[in-house]
Amino acid sequence: MIVRRIVTGVLVGAAWVLALCYMPGWMLFGVLLVMSCVCQNEFYQMMRLGGYPLSRNYGLTMGAVWLTVCYAFPPYAQARLPIGHQVELLALGVLVFGLLLRVLFDSRIRRPVEHVGITLLGFFYLPFMLGFFIRLAQWGAEGMFEIPSARGGVYLASFLAVVVKLSDVGGFAVGLLAGRHKMFPRISPKKSWEGLAGGIAASMAGSVGMIKLAQNCPWLSGGPFQELGTVHALVIGLVLALVGVLGDLVESMFKRAVNTKDSAGLLPGMGGLLDMFDSLTFTPAVLYFYLAWFVGQAVSP
């Protein structure tokens, strides 16, 4: 089981990094859209398994529309596209209001509060947060529906995936070999403080290594990484590792609530796609805002 888990994780991770490096922008968006829909659908399946009512099709539609709006209006181009943020807010308001109307006029729905709440949870938990992957890939975009060919933003997305997954691998390896003190037994009995320390160390090392690589390799477009020193690199690695673990625990909380081990059976030895990407749920937003605040190039031309 452990070998299958490692092999599956390495293959999926390598495929994702290669996709980020070589796929054209529109195809990258399509891959992320499909991944988001699969993860959201797995979440809804888990909730239905627990007996919670929801609108699966409407929730998936909300996610697809939101990601498309994010792709259409890159944050770096907002000065040239002044209606970008208004369109996002309008889309969000219309989608939520549409869900309320859908529940209001369906007489078959007997638990409307839970129905709306679980559907919105699936939307905000996955496609809304994963939309920041698009924001990272769009770093430096100047027009609608653009992921720059220079790939500076794509390197940011690749950096995020590698660093967070290094944290997962480091935590798993150290926890397996030296884990003694349980970190959160109520939610995830196998996680240990030793594993957390190993994951943080691997994440910080990966962060420093990839940022230094971007700064010293002219053929890599490191984008905002060109302005970051070692202290920032270490802090980013630390924060991404901690937020990644929290994302993992959040999904474990949901699975425990519905009494299931995996979100699905899609990946051998690992469960579903959501089980693979749970630690990447909240980290894109963290990296995006960290760079926006400390580098200041994500929202200005």
CA 239/CA 246 separation, integer angstroms:
11
Torsion-angle region of residue 296: left (phi > 0), alpha (psi -120 to 50) or beta?
A: left
- What pTM value is reported for the model? 0.87
Structure token digits, residue 258: 């519905």
3-state secondary structure of 227: helix
Which pLDDT does position 197 carry in this prediction?
Answer: 93
CA 146/CA 137 separation, integer angstroms:
9
Which pLDDT does position 148 carry in this prediction?
Answer: 67
Radius of gyration of the chain (CA): 19
Each as own residue / partner, the long-range contacts of residues 175-184 (CB below 8 Å, 24 or more positions apart, any chain) are 176/2, 184/249
The structural domains of the chain, with segments of one domain joined by +, span 2-294
Which pLDDT does position 79 carry in this prediction?
Answer: 53
Taking 50 as the threshold, does the pLDDT of residue 298 lie above it? no
Residue 26's pLDDT band (cuts 50, 70, 90): confident
Taking 60 as the threshold, does the pLDDT of residue 176 lie above it? yes
Mean pLDDT across the chain: 84
Taking 80 as the threshold, does the pLDDT of residue 229 lie above it? yes
More reliable by pLDDT, 112 or 153: 112
Which pLDDT does position 61 carry in this prediction?
Answer: 96
* Residue type present at position 194: E
Query: To 5 degrees, how large is the angle CA 294–CA 128–CA 121?
Result: 125
pLDDT in tens, 239-292: 999 999 999 999 999 999 998 887 876 666 667 888 888 899 999 999 999 988
Which pLDDT does position 156 carry in this prediction?
Answer: 86
Taking 80 as the threshold, does the pLDDT of residue 64 lie above it? yes
pLDDT in tens, 100-146: 999 999 999 999 999 999 999 999 999 999 999 888 888 877 778 77
Structure token digits, residue 24: 């054209």
* CB-count burial class (<10 Å; 0-12, 13-18, 19+) for 104: exposed
Taking 70 as the threshold, does the pLDDT of residue 78 lie above it? no
Range 155-171 average pLDDT:
88
User: Three-state SS string across 127-167, please?
Assistant: HHHHHHHHHHHCCCCCCCCCCCCCCHHHHHHHHHHHHHHHH
Torsion-angle region of residue 162: left (phi > 0), alpha (psi -120 to 50) or beta?
A: alpha
Taking 90 as the threshold, does the pLDDT of residue 39 lie above it? yes
Q: Which residues have C-beta within 8 Å of that of residue 297, sequence separation ≥ 6?
A: 76, 139, 140, 223, 224, 291
pLDDT in tens, 201-214: 999 999 999 999 88
CA 134/CA 119 separation, integer angstroms:
22
CA 166/CA 267 separation, integer angstroms:
19
CA 124/CA 134 separation, integer angstroms:
15
CA 32/CA 42 separation, integer angstroms:
15
Residue 299's pLDDT band (cuts 50, 70, 90): very low
What separation, in Å, do the N-terminal and C-terminal C-alpha atoms of the chain show?
49
More reliable by pLDDT, 225 or 53: 53
Range 146-160 average pLDDT:
76
Q: Which of 138, 125, 153, 151 is nearest to 71 (CA)?
A: 138
CA 290/CA 236 separation, integer angstroms:
8
- The answer to which of 72-81, 209-218, 222-231, 234-243 has the lowest mean pLDDT is 72-81
More reliable by pLDDT, 229 or 235: 235
Taking 60 as the threshold, does the pLDDT of residue 200 lie above it? yes
Q: What is the DSSP letter of 267?
A: B
